[in-house]
Amino acid sequence: MKQKLMSMLEERKEEMIRIRRYLHEHPELSFQEEKTAQYIMDFYKGKEVDIQANVGNGYGVVVTINGGKPGKTIALRADFDALPITEETGLPFQSKNEGVMHACAHDGHTAYLLVLADCLIQLKDEIPGTVKIIHQHAEEVPPGGANSIVESGVLNDVDNIFGIHLLPMHPAGVVGYHSGYSMAGRAYLKVEIQGRGGHGSSPHKANDAIVAGAYFVTAAQTIVSRRLNPFDMGVITIGSFDGKGTFNVIRDHVTLEGDIRYMSNETKEIMETELRRIAAGIEAEFGVRCELTFTPDYPPLYNDPDVTAFVKKCLENANDPDIQEVVEYPMLSPSDDFAYYLEQIPGCYFYVGCTPKGVEQPYFNHHPKFDIDEDALLVAAKAVGYVVCAYYGLDS
């Protein structure tokens, strides 16, 4: 089956590219992907599969491929939402939806998995088990789609789960992996500081919210440098400081918003505790009121070591010219709600290089000029296909 599957994927490479380009032209934001979900369901229409629509808290689609024999159940996931970014690539298939762009390769994820799934459907009689295809909505915006799909119960019978992300950290042909904690958890921070306004000439008659906010920004940076174990990963970014006013007026109120990243839940607890301690100290020092909101978004992503070792081995043994190298990646500070699946189901989320040909310094995901080498679509399909074949012992 492995040889048949790989041949089928090679023959349908151009179809993957066509699908990717169509999706790239017609992106939809998280929780608004109605037409994309319909496109996905139309693709499976008339095929021998079970289709569940509107799974979770949005437009999630779960397709079940029942094999010819009983056995274990695995899940394969691809996300399909886009970002609120105005595209600047100049591609002939550039986004037609102003201000919306597939800048994180979710169009590529969906394209490869649609074709791979269709090939598995055609070969399903040879599969000793069940394959569930998760086309997931709303990865980009908390609370995301993954956790709601888990909570729906449609994956309760899944033994292991796999997924990939296209990243321009290597050229197409390079597949990366990392065992254990692999991608950061993320939390949203908001701080409202209420002081007392006044005239710029009379600061003694006011409690300056801007000064208090500035102290909070500076003090928050000491959490990573002085409160975390140096071997633990943590990031505190204050990305918004809303204190605009008039040059000679002391502001009575400012709002700060920030992005918190961590590689373990223990680190998250330390960071939240310290941020609240700093807020309390700012209140005491400046006579202001601080209201702090700390909202965890996605947990750290943990790749099961045994499953990851299995993925690494089967890719290294692929002996396929399209998979040129298998490399170990470092821990990555971005987040992905695939982490919710891995909290419940042992699995592996790995990476496929997609740096455009001839580009030494590619634009990274979420940039308005982000693009991929479309050869990576076949690499992704083959990599996941090899994992499926090895999982079910279909290596001949």
Query: What is the rounded distance in angstroms from the CA atom of residue 178 to the CA atom of residue 265?
Result: 19
Residues 346-356 have a mean pLDDT of: 98
The pLDDT value given to residue 395: 81
Q: How far apart are the first and last CA of the chain?
A: 6
Count of helix runs (H) and strand runs (E) in the chain: 10, 16
**pLDDT higher than 80, residue 256:** yes
**pLDDT higher than 90, residue 396:** no
- Of 139, 272, 373, 374, the active-site residue reads 139
Which token pair is 29?
């934001």
Residues 375-390 pLDDT 10s: 999 999 999 999 999 9
47-72: buried (b, 16+ CB within 10 Å) or exposed (e) per residue? eebebbeebbbbbbbbbbbbbeeeee
- Of 33, 79, 81, 208, the active-site residue reads 81
> Quick one: pLDDT band at residue 23, thresholds 50, 70, 90?
very high
Is 297 in the active site? no
Is 325 in the active site? no
Residue identified by tokens 């292991």 is 160
Query: What is the rounded distance in angstroms from the CA atom of residue 115 to the CA atom of residue 8?
Result: 9
Residues 75-90 have a mean pLDDT of: 98
Residues 155-205 pLDDT 10s: 999 999 999 999 999 999 999 999 999 999 999 999 999 999 999 999 999
* Average pLDDT across the chain, whole number: 97
Say whether the peptide bond before residue 362 is cis (omega within 30 degrees of 0): no
The pTM for the full model equals: 0.93
CA 349 to each of CA 124, 149, 163, 301: distance values in angstroms, whole numbers, following the listed order: 24, 17, 5, 8
